[in-house]
Chains A and B, each alone.
Chain A
Amino acid sequence: MTSEITPELFSTVPDASGRFGRFGGKFVAETLMSALADLEQLYADLKDDANFQREFDLDLANYVGRPSPLYEAARLSDAIGGGRIFLKREDLNHTGAHKVNNTIGQALLARHMGKKRVIAETGAGQHGVASATVAARLGLECHVFMGEEDIRRQSLNVYRMKLLGAQVISVTSGSRTLKDAMNEAMRDWVTHIDDTFYIIGTVAGPHPYPMLVRDFQSVIGREARAQSLAQNGKLPDALVACVGGGSNAIGLFHPFLGDASVAMYGVEAGGKGLETGRHAAPLSAGSPGVLHGNRTYLMQDQDGQIIETHSVSAGLDYPGVGPEHAWLKDIGRVQYVAANDDEALDAFHRLTKIEGIMPALETAHALAYAEKLAATMTEYQHIVVNLSGRGDKDILTVAALDGIEV
């Protein structure tokens, strides 16, 4: 990368064609191009519209319960010794994760477009629940696509979605996980393009999705920035967030990208270990390619076929990653690392026991790395970890891994 990193650089992406450097774009079938153009136009009109922003902010305050607290995990920090760990409590949002910030925003867009039907893909089920929730609230028909394998391991969230009135469609093609759910959602969208709004749950997909999901999620970082200044009188020294598609990480990172003193770490799912090949860490161990409408880092074989990923957490079990992360990796602004299944499980248990906060298994990957990082820092240094979701949904998975029958 030749371009110099200046604070202004980060407000220049994506460009008009949806590029973050060499990543991003609109790699979709012709049938979707006009729908993407319509969405782009609508968002350009509404983005800086005071009424739209007020509507969004009010929903975040009164329906989601924002701002979410920034909490100093004092006992955890003491136990590790070193840097102080602060948790941005997105788990306290309505529906239990950061996902709802984005579904509130996209549901408002759907309403402005007059669409009566929304569809969503989901892995762990958090985005599916968040989509079903906003659909229930706005009286929209909601269809959630979920891999057969994920339906099995996230049965609680499946039932939640059904209670909320959504139809959950079991996806039996390919590896039967999140990537296949996204394929199926794209197919549904092409088929019902006139009346359907596709609520993409992460900062991936074709332009303008990576941009608008980032914008909706950036409330996390804006709050964390103000809260850090208010509580500690300074910016954090480091930010840590887990990265599957990467929406909670971008949401936390983006408002800090221009602050050169703030180090950032995106933690991918290392699965059984990067060296085994059984993981879901395209930034750490993948290569660039094109999938789901954008160019980004992918898990693929030498012939360009997407390969199966492995992670204990369904929400990180995805072979791609948002194109802005791919770009941030290339320019060196964010470091991408991996935590494996066992490390995440340990971190899950530790936070639960020491702080009384049960994190989602996705989030536990961020915690696992934050603990390592804290150990290398002094007590005057601060880490903000995005506590992106709560772990209730994972109780059965954790119990099974611990050999306990619930």
Chain B
Amino acid sequence: MSRLGGVFADLKSNGRKGVIPYVVAGDPTPEGTVHLLHQLVAAGADVLEVGVPFSDPMSEGPVIQKGHERALENGMTLRKVLEIVAAFRRDNQNTPVVMMGYANPIERFGYDAFASACAEAGVDGLITVDLPPEEVDQIDQALLAVSLDNIFLISPTTPESRIQTIVDRARGFIYCVAVKGVTGSGQLDTEAVAQSVALIRSKTPLPVAVGFGIKDADSARVVASSADAVVVGSALIAEMERASQTDGDIGEIQIHGAAVQLLQSIRAGVDTPLS
């Protein structure tokens, strides 16, 4: 069983829900990302989502956009993101790592070379925002050849008929987008999310993770009552940004600490059943 499959099976058999933090590789610093990933695991992450910075991140809200910009200013590249994952993997063989990004850096790398490099680095799955099922054949073949999971998004605008097409191609888990909008935006309609999750479940046995718009322990707890896992991205990055902007001599330890603290509280929220 794949690392992702194993983690979701364990969660299920223990009656628990997953927590998936998203951070941008290279933000706030390239040197600190590996350590941050270990800290997030210690704070309760079940799966890690590592953002690959891109010059034109069309689906990201302002918070994650800035994370991409900072990472690129720090000289981050797709190759370096793979090195970060490989370095993380040396000390952690259990926590799945999913890379999330855009098609062009991968096109430039070459699909086959990229898939092999992912497998070698210890990447478990891939989310490519601008590769919907219609455009995915090339990369999917490359990923299948090295047994990597290709993870698809399903959004509130996805018609029911299309959900089947998507889940038929999906592996690992389904990423259910909670809001119409970019990352970190919008008002979460938890009832609509529960309905979407139920609809997706009626069509696939794959686990369903929900992301976009989960900001704190309360929203995470409510969403986790229907989903298998919650994804938290913008809120973590915003916390780190806030910490880095406070007066005084703030080091990376304190900046990471801000994200770790929020993730711990989300972990606690998800682990506390709704009354």
**1/0 per residue B27-57: CB within 8 Å of A?**
0000000000000000000000000001111
Within 8 A of B (CB), among A262-319: 288-293, 295, 298, 300, 302-307
**What's the least CB distance linking A179 to chain B, in Å?**
7
Q: Which residues of B contact A304 (CB under 8 A)?
A: 54, 78, 104-109
Segment 70-115 of B: residues with Cβ below 8 Å from A: 72, 77-79, 102-109
Chain A residues in 8 Å Cβ range of B159: 34
Nearest chain-A residue to B179 (Cβ)? A191
Contact residues of B: prevailing secondary structure? loop
A32, B131: Cα distance in complex, Å? 12
Say whether, besides A191-B180, A304-B109, A305-B54, A33 and B104 are in contact (CB < 8 Å): no
In the complex, per-residue mask of A175-201: 1 if CB is within 8 Å of any chain B CB, else 0: 000011001001100110110000000
In whole angstroms, how far apart are the Cα atoms of A182 and B49 in the complex? 27
Pairwise interchain contact A31-B107, C-beta atoms closer than 8 A: no
Structural contact, B105 and A191, CB atoms closer than 8 A: no
CB distance from A26 to the nearest CB of B (A): 6
Cβ B185 vs Cβ A191 within 8 A: yes
Is the beta-carbon distance between B104 and A191 smaller than 8 angstroms? no
Q: Is the CB of A30 within 8 A of B155?
A: yes
The answer to whether A305 touches B181 (Cβ under 8 A) is no
Q: Do A33 and B135 touch across chains, with their CB atoms under 8 A apart?
A: no
Are B108's CB and A25's CB within 8 A? no
Q: Which residues of A contact B145 (CB under 8 A)?
A: none
Give the CA-CA distance A245 to B109 in the complex, in Å: 25
Bound: A303/B158 CA distance, A:
32
Q: Which residues of B contact A194 (CB under 8 A)?
A: 180
Instruction: Tell whether B270 is near chain A: CB-to-CB under 8 Å.
Output: no
Judge whether A306 and B59 touch: CB under 8 Å.
Answer: no
- Report the separation of the CA atoms of residues A55 and B102 in the bound assembly, to the nearest whole angstrom: 40
Chain A residues in 8 Å Cβ range of B130: 27-29, 290, 293
Give the residues from 166 to 191 in chain B that come closer than 8 angstroms, CB to CB, to chain A: 166, 177, 180-182, 185-186
A31 near B58: Cβ-Cβ < 8 Å:
no
Q: Is A174 within 8 A of B55, CB to CB?
A: yes
The complex places the Cα of A35 from the Cα of B132 at a distance, in Å, of 14
Q: Is A11 an interface residue (CB 8 A)?
A: no
Contact of A352 with B by CB under 8 A: no
Most chain-B CB neighbours within 10 Å: which of A183, A290, A300, A302?
A290
> Given the complex of chains A and B, what is the CA–CA distance between A295 and B104 in angstroms?
9
| B275 CB–A CB distance under 8 Å | no
Known: A183-B56, A302-B108. A30 touches B79 (CB 8 A): no
A14–chain B nearest beta-carbon distance, Å:
13
Q: Which residue of A30, A191, A302 contacts B152 across the interface (Cβ within 8 Å)?
A: A30
A291 touches B132 (CB 8 A): no
Would you list which residues of chain B between 127 and 142 have a CB under 8 Å from chain A?
Answer: 129-132, 134-135
A17 part of interface (Cβ distance < 8 Å): yes
Min Cβ gap A285→B in Å is 16
Instruction: Name the CB-closest residue of A to B102.
Output: A290
B residues near A298, Cβ cutoff 8 Å: 104
B69 lies within 8 A of chain A by Cβ: yes
The 7 closest A-B pairs by CB, nearest first: A304-B108, A304-B105, A31-B155, A191-B181, A303-B77, A290-B103, A305-B55
- 15 A-B contacts (beta carbon < 8 Å): A28-B58, A30-B153, A30-B177, A31-B156, A31-B180, A32-B157, A34-B162, A180-B56, A187-B58, A191-B182, A290-B103, A290-B104, A303-B77, A304-B54, A306-B104
